[in-house]
Structure 1
């Protein structure tokens, strides 16, 4: 999956999102691929038993899932606000102007999809944001306000909601004849690693990063690194 970030003739920067092809200057990562060509029953049986149980429980809640396949900049901004509130309490990077600009470019290429899960009061409980090329869908962001809830029951409902949204997204992309659901990078965090593997996919080696083919492009990538450090 390749995204051309800038189109000016003197700036040739290719953004590679978990490419399976090794290439100079790209870093090797592990991700989890879910094979969407399998039947729904096969996919469900490959889930960890805890996930199967929680997804079944979630179906008894009055949850509503919204898929925004043609997001506007307002939709992206709403996601940014929700995500940054989440990032503040999880010690992770915020979604800054560089990320918004990148998402806007993806939106313009019809390569960005946003999904939400809402409760019966129309409160957004969790988000997932994807990059799509029509065959592979890559999970770029996910966020819920799990850590902001104080009551055990509220935390339990959010845990169920998060898994339910992910499972329904898998089925959504399967119905659209996608071949691969990419769970995103598998980090050293055991909780994150376990969560992703419990959805039944296979660990796959991929290569990710940005590549500059000109001096100007290298300068742009250097400025990008500075921006990311500043948040």
Structure 2
């Protein structure tokens, strides 16, 4: 199967491919699922990116600057790094009543990692407790938010409750600046959800709301049948 990420014009599909996968393509297609995302153009100056933030977000980041965070970026995460992330995320998902990262989904994550298409970032408190993880897909100097998980403030000591509130904002802002320094041109915030809190969080980082298209296109009847069975099973 051939898979394309963030394409801006019709992809050059190999004739031998029976199934073509697309993630956040900008090319409209009735065969793919349409959704909204936010694109942050990292070619803008750091000052322009900062001024594009919402006022409340700038206020949070100013407060976060006073916290003694430790940030770790794994450009080539090890299997141990990713297993630790999976465990952290699944605890988060259970608490939030979200779908956990299953064995098959973890296999897909490992495959992406083997292709050099993942960046994992982690933020810890001054005492070394992990507060937040972010897992991004990276391809052709573009990045997209893939998974995000934060720890539970109710299970931590009182003096860590404020750092936890700011951790996700701080880590994402840190990552945007780091990606910019590394020559990346675009950050895709991931699909805009119906959840108002998540939607507001993503919109608070500025950027442009755009329509994107994702899914699979079968180029044979057998492949189409197999895709239909897979969708039915889900």
Q: Same fold (TM over 0.5)?
A: yes
Tell me the matched-pair count: 222
Report if aligned partners of 2:89, 2:101 keep a CA contact under 8 Å in 1. Answer: yes
1:5-44 maps to which residues of 2 (within 5 A)? 12-44=18-50
Report if aligned partners of 2:145, 2:190 keep a CA contact under 8 Å in 1. Answer: yes
Query: In the alignment, what sits opposite 1:2?
Result: 4
Report if aligned partners of 2:33, 2:214 keep a CA contact under 8 Å in 1. Answer: yes
Q: For 1:91-124, what per-residue CA distance to the aligned partner results, in whole angstroms no more than 9, with x for missing partners?
A: 1111111211111111111111100001112111
Query: In the alignment, what sits opposite 1:6?
Result: none
- Aligned-pair distance for 1:125? 0.6
Does residue 1:62 correspond to 2:62, yes or no? no
Does residue 1:107 correspond to 2:113, yes or no? yes
- Aligned-pair distance for 1:135? 2.1
Task: Determine the C-alpha separation between the residues in 2 that align with 1:98 and 1:141.
Answer: 15
Report if aligned partners of 1:146, 1:155 keep a CA contact under 8 Å in 2. Answer: no
- Cα 1:225–1:18 change in 2 (3 A) is farther
> What's the TM-score, normalizing by structure 2?
0.86
RMSD over aligned Cα atoms: 2.3
Does residue 1:45 correspond to 2:47, yes or no? no
Query: In the alignment, what sits opposite 2:167?
Result: 161
Does residue 1:219 correspond to 2:226, yes or no? yes
Report if aligned partners of 1:11, 1:217 keep a CA contact under 8 Å in 2. Answer: no
- Aligned-pair distance for 1:157? 1.9
Secondary structure (helix, strand or coil) at the match of 1:166 reads: helix
- Aligned-pair distance for 1:155? 3.9
> What's the TM-score, normalizing by structure 1?
0.87
- Cα 1:216–1:44 change in 2 (3 A) is same
Q: For 1:168-188, what per-residue CA distance to the aligned partner results, in whole angstroms no more than 9, with x for missing partners?
A: 011111111111110001111
Higher alpha-carbon deviation: 52-61 or 195-204: 52-61
- Aligned-pair distance for 1:88? 0.3
Segments of structure 1 that go 5 or more residues without pairing to the other structure are: 4-8
Q: For 1:64-87, what per-residue CA distance to the aligned partner results, in whole angstroms no more than 9, with x for missing partners?
A: 110101012222211110000000
Higher alpha-carbon deviation: 23-32 or 141-150: 141-150
Higher alpha-carbon deviation: 76-85 or 214-223: 214-223
Secondary structure (helix, strand or coil) at the match of 2:229 reads: helix
- Cα 1:116–1:33 change in 2 (3 A) is same
Task: Determine the C-alpha separation between the residues in 2 that align with 1:97 and 1:191.
Answer: 29
Task: Determine the C-alpha separation between the residues in 2 that align with 1:27 and 1:37.
Answer: 28
Report if aligned partners of 2:67, 2:163 keep a CA contact under 8 Å in 1. Answer: no
1:140-151 maps to which residues of 2 (within 5 A)? 140-146=146-152, 148-149=154-155
Does residue 1:210 correspond to 2:216, yes or no? yes
